[in-house]
Amino acid sequence: MRRHVVDEMIGEETIAARVAALAAEIDAHFADTEKLVVIGLLRGAFVFVADLARKLTVPVEIDFLEASSYGNATESSREVRVLKDLRAGIEGCDVLLVEDIVDTGHTLSAVLALLRARGPARLETCALLDKPSRREVALTPRWVGFEIPDAFVVGYGIDYAQRHRNRPAIGTVRFID
Protein backbone atom coordinates (compact mmCIF):
# COMPACT_ATOMS: atom_id res chain seq x y z
CA MET A 1 0.00 0.00 0.00
CA ARG A 2 1.40 3.41 -0.94
CA ARG A 3 1.95 5.92 1.86
CA HIS A 4 -0.97 8.27 1.99
CA VAL A 5 -3.07 10.61 4.11
CA VAL A 6 -6.82 11.09 4.07
CA ASP A 7 -8.23 14.61 3.79
CA GLU A 8 -11.79 14.94 5.06
CA MET A 9 -14.31 15.74 2.35
CA ILE A 10 -17.75 15.09 3.89
CA GLY A 11 -18.10 15.12 7.68
CA GLU A 12 -20.11 12.78 9.90
CA GLU A 13 -22.90 15.26 10.67
CA THR A 14 -23.32 16.22 7.03
CA ILE A 15 -23.60 12.54 6.10
CA ALA A 16 -26.11 11.84 8.87
CA ALA A 17 -28.33 14.75 7.84
CA ARG A 18 -28.27 13.70 4.19
CA VAL A 19 -28.99 10.05 5.04
CA ALA A 20 -32.04 11.13 7.07
CA ALA A 21 -33.29 13.29 4.18
CA LEU A 22 -32.83 10.43 1.71
CA ALA A 23 -34.70 8.05 4.01
CA ALA A 24 -37.62 10.49 4.20
CA GLU A 25 -37.82 10.62 0.39
CA ILE A 26 -37.57 6.84 0.09
CA ASP A 27 -40.23 6.39 2.78
CA ALA A 28 -42.56 8.71 0.88
CA HIS A 29 -41.91 6.95 -2.43
CA PHE A 30 -42.60 3.49 -0.99
CA ALA A 31 -45.27 4.62 1.51
CA ASP A 32 -47.75 2.01 0.25
CA THR A 33 -45.32 -0.92 0.16
CA GLU A 34 -46.07 -4.16 1.96
CA LYS A 35 -42.34 -4.81 2.20
CA LEU A 36 -39.27 -3.08 0.85
CA VAL A 37 -36.27 -5.30 0.20
CA VAL A 38 -33.17 -3.16 0.71
CA ILE A 39 -30.24 -4.72 -1.11
CA GLY A 40 -26.79 -3.48 -0.16
CA LEU A 41 -23.92 -3.97 -2.58
CA LEU A 42 -20.99 -5.39 -0.65
CA ARG A 43 -18.71 -4.40 0.60
CA GLY A 44 -18.72 -0.62 0.20
CA ALA A 45 -22.40 -0.02 0.99
CA PHE A 46 -22.55 -1.82 4.34
CA VAL A 47 -22.30 1.29 6.54
CA PHE A 48 -24.65 3.32 4.35
CA VAL A 49 -27.25 0.52 4.35
CA ALA A 50 -27.06 0.22 8.13
CA ASP A 51 -27.64 3.95 8.65
CA LEU A 52 -30.22 4.37 5.89
CA ALA A 53 -32.27 1.35 6.93
CA ARG A 54 -32.49 2.59 10.51
CA LYS A 55 -34.02 5.84 9.28
CA LEU A 56 -36.69 4.12 7.15
CA THR A 57 -40.13 3.57 8.66
CA VAL A 58 -41.69 1.40 5.92
CA PRO A 59 -41.43 -2.37 6.56
CA VAL A 60 -37.95 -3.40 5.44
CA GLU A 61 -36.04 -6.60 4.77
CA ILE A 62 -32.30 -6.41 4.24
CA ASP A 63 -30.20 -8.52 1.94
CA PHE A 64 -26.75 -8.19 0.42
CA LEU A 65 -25.21 -8.90 -2.94
CA GLU A 66 -21.51 -8.98 -3.74
CA ALA A 67 -20.64 -8.58 -7.38
CA SER A 68 -17.62 -7.60 -9.39
CA SER A 69 -17.88 -6.22 -12.86
CA TYR A 70 -15.33 -7.21 -15.42
CA GLY A 71 -14.78 -6.89 -19.14
CA ASN A 72 -13.41 -4.38 -21.56
CA ALA A 73 -13.78 -0.87 -20.19
CA THR A 74 -14.48 0.46 -23.66
CA GLU A 75 -17.55 -1.76 -24.06
CA SER A 76 -20.85 -0.12 -23.28
CA SER A 77 -21.91 -2.95 -21.00
CA ARG A 78 -19.82 -5.25 -18.89
CA GLU A 79 -20.49 -8.64 -17.39
CA VAL A 80 -21.05 -8.91 -13.69
CA ARG A 81 -19.81 -11.84 -11.65
CA VAL A 82 -21.89 -12.60 -8.57
CA LEU A 83 -19.57 -13.41 -5.67
CA LYS A 84 -22.33 -13.60 -3.07
CA ASP A 85 -25.94 -13.84 -4.13
CA LEU A 86 -29.11 -12.76 -2.34
CA ARG A 87 -30.58 -15.13 0.24
CA ALA A 88 -34.12 -14.76 -1.06
CA GLY A 89 -35.93 -14.26 -4.37
CA ILE A 90 -37.27 -10.79 -5.19
CA GLU A 91 -40.01 -11.64 -7.68
CA GLY A 92 -42.98 -9.34 -7.11
CA CYS A 93 -41.12 -7.41 -4.39
CA ASP A 94 -40.38 -3.73 -4.05
CA VAL A 95 -36.61 -3.41 -4.13
CA LEU A 96 -34.17 -0.64 -3.28
CA LEU A 97 -30.62 -1.28 -4.49
CA VAL A 98 -28.10 0.60 -2.37
CA GLU A 99 -24.65 1.33 -3.78
CA ASP A 100 -21.68 3.17 -2.29
CA ILE A 101 -20.39 5.00 -5.39
CA VAL A 102 -21.52 5.26 -8.98
CA ASP A 103 -18.45 5.96 -11.04
CA THR A 104 -18.51 4.77 -14.68
CA GLY A 105 -21.91 3.18 -13.99
CA HIS A 106 -20.94 -0.28 -15.27
CA THR A 107 -21.41 -2.06 -11.93
CA LEU A 108 -24.80 -0.55 -11.20
CA SER A 109 -26.05 -1.08 -14.73
CA ALA A 110 -25.03 -4.76 -14.73
CA VAL A 111 -26.46 -5.41 -11.26
CA LEU A 112 -29.71 -3.67 -12.20
CA ALA A 113 -30.05 -5.89 -15.28
CA LEU A 114 -29.44 -8.97 -13.15
CA LEU A 115 -32.06 -7.92 -10.58
CA ARG A 116 -34.59 -6.80 -13.18
CA ALA A 117 -34.45 -10.29 -14.73
CA ARG A 118 -35.74 -11.67 -11.40
CA GLY A 119 -39.04 -9.82 -11.79
CA PRO A 120 -39.24 -7.32 -8.90
CA ALA A 121 -42.42 -5.20 -8.73
CA ARG A 122 -40.51 -1.92 -8.34
CA LEU A 123 -36.74 -1.52 -8.53
CA GLU A 124 -35.08 1.77 -7.53
CA THR A 125 -31.52 2.72 -6.76
CA CYS A 126 -29.87 4.86 -4.13
CA ALA A 127 -26.18 5.72 -4.25
CA LEU A 128 -24.34 7.49 -1.47
CA LEU A 129 -21.87 9.12 -3.86
CA ASP A 130 -22.08 9.93 -7.53
CA LYS A 131 -19.23 10.95 -9.84
CA PRO A 132 -21.24 12.06 -12.90
CA SER A 133 -18.11 13.32 -14.71
CA ARG A 134 -16.84 9.73 -14.90
CA ARG A 135 -19.97 8.17 -16.36
CA GLU A 136 -19.63 5.77 -19.32
CA VAL A 137 -23.13 4.26 -19.07
CA ALA A 138 -26.17 6.54 -19.26
CA LEU A 139 -27.64 5.92 -15.84
CA THR A 140 -28.84 8.10 -12.99
CA PRO A 141 -29.65 6.63 -9.58
CA ARG A 142 -33.07 7.74 -8.35
CA TRP A 143 -31.52 9.02 -5.10
CA VAL A 144 -27.98 10.32 -4.64
CA GLY A 145 -26.43 11.37 -1.35
CA PHE A 146 -23.69 13.60 -2.71
CA GLU A 147 -22.34 14.44 -6.14
CA ILE A 148 -18.55 14.54 -5.93
CA PRO A 149 -15.75 15.39 -8.35
CA ASP A 150 -13.41 12.78 -9.82
CA ALA A 151 -11.38 11.92 -6.72
CA PHE A 152 -10.57 8.64 -4.96
CA VAL A 153 -12.53 8.54 -1.73
CA VAL A 154 -12.54 6.33 1.37
CA GLY A 155 -14.42 6.04 4.64
CA TYR A 156 -18.01 5.31 5.70
CA GLY A 157 -17.69 1.76 4.35
CA ILE A 158 -15.46 2.60 1.38
CA ASP A 159 -11.87 1.32 1.31
CA TYR A 160 -8.41 1.79 -0.05
CA ALA A 161 -6.82 -1.70 -0.16
CA GLN A 162 -9.36 -2.79 2.51
CA ARG A 163 -8.35 0.06 4.83
CA HIS A 164 -10.43 3.00 6.09
CA ARG A 165 -13.88 1.37 5.81
CA ASN A 166 -14.41 2.15 9.50
CA ARG A 167 -13.69 5.87 9.22
CA PRO A 168 -16.88 7.73 10.20
CA ALA A 169 -16.40 10.48 7.61
CA ILE A 170 -15.66 10.43 3.88
CA GLY A 171 -12.26 11.65 2.74
CA THR A 172 -9.99 11.79 -0.26
CA VAL A 173 -6.74 9.85 -0.47
CA ARG A 174 -3.58 11.88 -1.03
CA PHE A 175 -0.36 10.01 -1.76
CA ILE A 176 2.75 11.30 -0.02
CA ASP A 177 5.54 9.30 -1.67
Binding positions for ligand 5GP, 56-75, rule CB under 6 A: 69
**Residue 95 binds ligand 5GP (CB under 6 A):** no
Tell me, by CB under 6 A, how many residues bind ligand 5GP: 18
Residues 12, 62, 104, 165: which binds ligand 5GP (CB under 6 A)?
104
**Residue 130 binds ligand 5GP (CB under 6 A):** no
Question: Following DSSP, what letter does each residue of 48-109 receive, concatenated?
Answer: HHHHHHHH--S-EEEEEEEEEEES-TTSSS-EEEEEE--SS--TT-EEEEEEEEESSSHHHH
- From the CB of 49, what's the least distance to ligand 5GP, in Å? 13
Would you please indicate which residues are annotated as catalytic (active-site) residues?
103
**Residue 101 binds ligand 5GP (CB under 6 A):** yes
CA separation for the pair 71, 127 (Å, rounded): 23
CA distances from 147 to 133, 141, 153 (A): 10, 11, 12
**Residue 153 binds ligand 5GP (CB under 6 A):** yes
Do residues 112 and 97 make contact, with C-beta atoms less than 8 angstroms apart? yes
Q: Which positions lie near ligand 5GP, rule CB under 6 A?
A: 44, 69, 99-108, 152-154, 158-160
